[in-house]
Structure 1
Amino acid sequence: MKHRLDKDPEKWKDFGGNSPLISLFNSVLPIQDEIKAIINRETYPMQVKKYKYLISPIDRNMNLFFVLKGVVRGYVKDGTKEITTWISTENDVVGTIRNLFTHGDSDEYIQALEDAHLICIPHVMSEYLYANYREANFIGRVLMQKYYQSAEERAYLCRISSAEKRYKRFLQTYPGLIERISLKYIASFLGVRLETLSRIRTQGNK
């Protein structure tokens, strides 16, 4: 179940009085108080229990999500088969991009694989900041570069022909994640059968 606090006047009480998104923005470039006020007003904290959904194809989602704590994945369905397209952890910004920029339908599900704490970022707020504040454009560009770097890594990972090499690359790219989530999601992400991944891990531990 989603638990959101967008209308709570004390929604940032547990975060030192400000949206954690402000710290993310400031880590790229210091922002003015006017932008901080907009972020505090428009964003809100959200909690999603393990295995529950942030987004499904029936939603007309117009938000991004900043992951404060937890692991989330994106996946699509091919018949009854679930294909994990990405996995993200703390300090990542996630969402269904097709909804935001093309206003089209998305086949993607976003699911929490641990109890997740997030900050919801309305797309309309992002567009307003980009249109009215030069520093917001710069920050958005830097964050988009990080997104594209992650997308490039995923594209490279899925094109490695050897399942064993894909797994080794995964361990390098996502250190510690193997201990946090079920192996079946990693197998889905790597495009290998669960039995194959289990065998690779067993051989690697010998």
Structure 2
Amino acid sequence: MAAFYDRHILPHVIGCACGAGPIRHQRAKVVPRARGRVLELGIGGGLNLAFYDPAQVDSVTGVDPSEGLRRKALNAPRPDGLKVAVLDGAAEALPFEDSDFDTVVCTFTLCSVASTDATLAEARRVLRPGGRLLYAEHGLSPDPQVARWQRRIEPVWKPLAGGCHLTRPVSATIAASGFELIDPACMYLPNTPRVLGWSEWGEARRD
């Protein structure tokens, strides 16, 4: 039953949740900043593709371990002229050379990877010196009462939401991985329960 849910139902659940209006608005804040050769971690159903500027982006390579979501990404709307490749892969072990990309995009992905440390180390490895990580994520609230509820709910939430964690810090984890934060921002997403809605976004530069 769990395998059936993960293969046939979960991609639709994730597509609906991650395509909600407040989350789309967060994507629109960071994805248009991408430049050059772009790697997207956890491309999912391709919801970011509509926000890339083909005049600024040479190509977008997306990786995702879910076959169902990769199929959605291949058919997702995108601007004319945007070159897109969608590959099977895990963010913790990327099949690319060092310094291969100008921009890495990571949106609503760090919550569900097996290891944030390994994912961010790989992102840093495949970025050229001076390359940028663009991120928009949800995670651990700074409000103690909300954080307590996040910890209570997380064990039930994770299997229903594809391993999504509610209690992972975002910007602090990125900074601890060796990136320089450029313009971090944060807020609760509107029309979203606070246990799910703490969002952080911005740019981080590789030295």
Under a length normalisation based on structure 2, what TM-score does the superposition of the two structures give?
0.26
- Structure with higher helix content: 1
Larger radius of gyration: 1
